[in-house]
Structure 1
Amino acid sequence: MLRKILIPLKLKESFNKISDLADFLTKMGAQDVVLLHIGRSAGVKGRRNRVLLERYGGSLKEYSFRVRTSLRSGSVRREILKAAAEKECDSICLSFKKKNWVEQAIMGSVVKDTIRLSELPVCVYKKGSEKRDEGMRVLYASSFSAVDSQLLALLAPMRTELILLHVGRRAPDPRAEEERNQKVRRSFELLAQSLPDTTTVLDRFSLVGQAERKIIRTARKKGVDLILMGKADSRARSGPILGSTAEMVSYNAPCSVLIIPNPAVQRGART
């Protein structure tokens, strides 16, 4: 479960944005929040940064979160991962919005690097993407791997309308294609049986083509609030979804994206 979340801040966020983020995290079942700013910690600037962090923390406490703050200096990418480990967080939440091309390049790079390097789940939050006041509509992009049930268990704290999606390759002949489709249907049935009681399957799609494009297009068409997807261990050659696909989806999706690394990688990070 995603209970303790690290949230890096630029300290330029509006309090309305923080309020929207708090609503989102509440739906996700979060209980503890660590607010992180990477910047100057000494002198007048450092004091100002601490005051701002505490103000943001106070805003989140109104939503009954337990809040801690952390002010660090150094490399943004390195300090995000380091703080998450030291504060014993179980996930990282990055707020992202495409802006001008310079900010887009800088922030996009931080988001992609965090997704690629993190051994914890990473949520890329996009303000205003939620369509519902209660519950969430979630798109789960599955490759029918052994870890599907572990990833879908993360939905337990939420009331969820779930859309199941599988993107594969078309078989070389009609008979093989029909066999592939039958296998996909059986796999969808097994997935549906493993879902938490709080989750209802709204739709199922089996598509062929480029994974990231089909995921993004389906999310937009179905008006989802969150895309849930696994990320393959880059050290192995198999797994839920390649890291590069996860990065591209997080960057271009019309909604928030939660990316979960291979559970074996997470277990290794804790030992």
Structure 2
Amino acid sequence: MLQRAAVKISLKEPRKRLMHMFEFLGNFGTKDVHLIHAAPKITSQQRSDIEEQLEKTAKDATNFGFNVYTHIRRGHVPTTIIETAQEKKADFIAIYWTPKSLFRNALLGNIDSDILRLSNLPVFIYNHGLFKSSVNLEQVLYATDCKHTDAAVLPYLVDRRFTASRLFILHVGERAPDPVTEEKRRKNVLDSLNALAIECSHAYNEVQPLETLGQVSKQIVKQAATLDVDLIVAGKSDKSGTVSQMLGSTAEILPHKAGRSIFIIPDACRLPACKNY
């Protein structure tokens, strides 16, 4: 499912940490890597320099066993990255995340955030982090709404090439207004979490359902830190008036807050629409 990666390359990424990202991609069973550099304008001299730098990056990436291809494109960067990824039939887009403030992002915009918002392909965000820089994938936290996003996300979580050994399935809810309704809400959530755990049990050594209350993004970040996971997986949906819509906006907040790598899978990959199935 994740054999072909389209990797956005700005040529400003720290080379050693970028190589850590390529090494991390091995946890997904990735075989083909398309390095894509896009810019609104590229002169002949710039193209020559870009080609040289891309070739160096490609040569380093082949050391991890990938088939590597390079592409230089002109145009609006987020749109061009997405369109090139689709053209090359990539299974997902990978981004080396450079921290930015949410305030600056709101004022000036941000290429990575725009890719995450616009893409109908899954987006992997490699966050080297200050405290979590492992290239191994041992523990995964899936933030579920127990509703719309599961159909898109579950095929990725149970794929045999996804090598994690422990999965935490987290639902962040809102307390109901009275005790009777709250009891029913919590029972429904726990039933859904346990059903998801059973569906994923064959793919992991351990699957643990978790349920908590609070603001979705804050609780995901808190639980990810407490559990010391290597990757957060979340769905992204544009369905109005649902928790999925909240998770959609949360997906855009998490890279700024989580301090660890994140995989965002859009509702467009829901069965049977996803091209991988």
What TM-score do you get using the length of structure 1 for normalisation?
0.88
1:148 aligned partner, one-letter code: D
Pairwise mapping of residues 33-182 of structure 1 onto structure 2 (< 5 A)?
A: 33-39=33-39, 41-98=42-99, 109-128=110-129, 130=132, 132=134, 134-145=136-147, 147-148=149-150, 150-155=152-157, 156=159, 157=161, 158-182=163-187
Equivalent residue, structure 2, for 1:12: 12
1:140 aligned partner, one-letter code: Y
Change (3 A) 1:266 1:109: farther
Equivalent residue, structure 2, for 1:28: 28
Overall identity of the aligned pairs, in %: 30
Which stretch shows the higher mean deviation, 91-100 or 182-191?
91-100
| 1:60-92 deviation digits (Å, cap 9, x = unpaired) | 111111111100112111111111111111111
- Determine helix, strand or coil for the equivalent of 1:247: helix
- Determine helix, strand or coil for the equivalent of 1:195: helix
Answer 1 or 2: higher relative contact order, Cα 8 Å, separation at least 6. Answer: 2
Q: Residues 221 and 258 of structure 2 are in contact (CA less than 8 Å); yes or no, is this contact kept in structure 1?
A: yes
- Determine helix, strand or coil for the equivalent of 1:81: helix
Q: Residues 143 and 171 of structure 2 are in contact (CA less than 8 Å); yes or no, is this contact kept in structure 1?
A: yes
Which stretch shows the higher mean deviation, 189-198 or 72-81?
189-198
Q: Residues 152 and 269 of structure 2 are in contact (CA less than 8 Å); yes or no, is this contact kept in structure 1?
A: no
Change (3 A) 1:32 1:211: same
1:135 aligned partner, one-letter code: L
How big is the shift at 1:106? 8.7
Which stretch shows the higher mean deviation, 11-20 or 67-76?
11-20
Q: Residues 35 and 70 of structure 2 are in contact (CA less than 8 Å); yes or no, is this contact kept in structure 1?
A: yes
Which stretch shows the higher mean deviation, 162-171 or 177-186?
177-186
Change (3 A) 1:139 1:241: farther
How big is the shift at 1:93? 0.9
- 1:247 paired with 2:252, answer yes
CA distance in 1, matches of 2:101, 2:95: 18
CA distance in 2, matches of 1:18, 1:132: 13
Name the Cα RMSD after superposition.
2.7
1:143 aligned partner, one-letter code: D
CA distance in 2, matches of 1:222, 1:196: 19
CA distance in 2, matches of 1:266, 1:113: 25
- Determine helix, strand or coil for the equivalent of 2:125: strand
CA distance in 2, matches of 1:61, 1:92: 18
1:176 aligned partner, one-letter code: T
Equivalent residue, structure 1, for 2:197: 192
CA distance in 2, matches of 1:89, 1:175: 48
CA distance in 1, matches of 2:202, 2:128: 28
Change (3 A) 1:108 1:198: farther
1:138 aligned partner, one-letter code: V
Can you give the 5+ residue segments of structure 2 that lack an aligned partner in the other structure?
none
Change (3 A) 1:74 1:131: closer
CA distance in 2, matches of 1:184, 1:37: 43
What TM-score do you get using the length of structure 2 for normalisation?
0.86
CA distance in 2, matches of 1:100, 1:220: 20
